[in-house]
Amino acid sequence: MKTVNWGILGAARVNQRLLPAIENNAHSQILMLASRRNGAADECVKQYVKNPDGIKTTTQFVDVINHPDINAIYIPLANEEHTEVALKAIEQKKHVLIEKPMALTQQEVKSITQAAKDNNVIVMEGFMYVFHPQFDFVLDFINSGKLGKIQYTHSMFSFPIQPARYYRINRSMQDGGGAFWDIGPYAIHTLRQVMGAHIKQVNATAKMNSHQADMSASGILEFTDQRRATFDISFECTRRSEFEIFGEKGRLKCHTVWQHENDEAIISFELEGSAPVVEKIQKGNHFDLEINHFVDCILNNKESKKLSMDDAIKQAATMEATFKSIQSNQWVSV
């Protein structure tokens, strides 16, 4: 295989970033986009694809899943739909890129993992931020030992939700709605990546709306070595997308985790006995880099090392435990 032929399931807003990223990849082409809303697929292609010639649209997901020439599928559907649709695609020997969260439970991710092994296909969870040069800078800085042992990390992600996104808060958390399942995966995944240890237990709380969807949530992750990390997310606060790391010898802050590809990333750090330093990191389109990585995995028949299925299982276990903690208002083991 020299070219990855893509099918897209859903006319989600994120296609504004992903479709150009697929177009920009030298080994990819988009063959079909499906949306159950009449006219939505056509409008999506018209808005986000520079060269739409040859891209077919449909209202039936099965047309994409069963298409004989499509070998990779991108799933940006409602969170609660990911597992069922992904399994159907995998059964048809399609490689699958699934928007975060991959699924709502650890068991669902395990079922996707097993199906991928059985059908010899690549599956990856869509955490694009890990591919940006600034995240490589952060991990290299941690591994250099300049901060000493990392003792605590805090992540923050919020923005005032707009009417166009109200569908995210019109269904309960139980059904995959709310800030927790939408932006919470980023905040929690970042903590897991930075701390690099197994999580023992979690404790979280949330502010609910009338649909029992959370508008804001915050929580504590306690690791097996007794270190802790915290997060707060919100659809009600001003825009924030940042995390701060505290070590024995200093601290580091990533000021804009999900910045526009034309913006420079800003990272600041302060080491014991030294003046604060501000670093400007090279620009990078994390969506382009994510697609490039996934396509490389497909063409070389190798699982992603940055976003492995083992990582997806651990992420799902943490998310599921955190959700249970919100429900019970108690510490929950991971």
Tell the residue number behind the tokens 């890129």, with chain if given: 97
pTM of the model: 0.96
Q: How far apart are the first and last CA of the chain?
A: 40
Domain 4-128+288-303 annotated CATH 3.40.50.720:
yes
Backbone angles phi, psi at 57, to 5 degrees: -125, 155
pLDDT at 165: 86
Query: What are the structural domain ranges in the chain?
Result: 4-128+288-303, 129-285+316-333
- CA-based max dimension of the chain: 62
pLDDT at 79: 95
CA pair distance 12, 97, nearest whole angstrom: 14
DSSP tally for the chain: helices H, then strands E: 10, 15
Residue 328 CA, distance from chain mean position:
26
| CATH, range 129-285+316-333 | 3.30.360.10
- From first to last of its 334 residues, the chain has per-residue pLDDT tens of 789 999 999 999 999 999 999 999 999 999 999 999 999 999 999 999 999 999 999 999 999 999 999 999 999 999 999 999 999 999 999 999 999 999 999 999 999 999 999 999 999 999 999 999 999 999 999 999 999 999 999 999 999 999 988 999 999 999 999 999 999 999 999 999 999 999 999 999 999 999 999 999 999 999 999 999 999 999 999 999 999 999 999 999 999 997 777 788 999 999 999 999 999 998 899 999 999 999 999 999 999 999 999 999 999 999 999 999 999 999 999 9
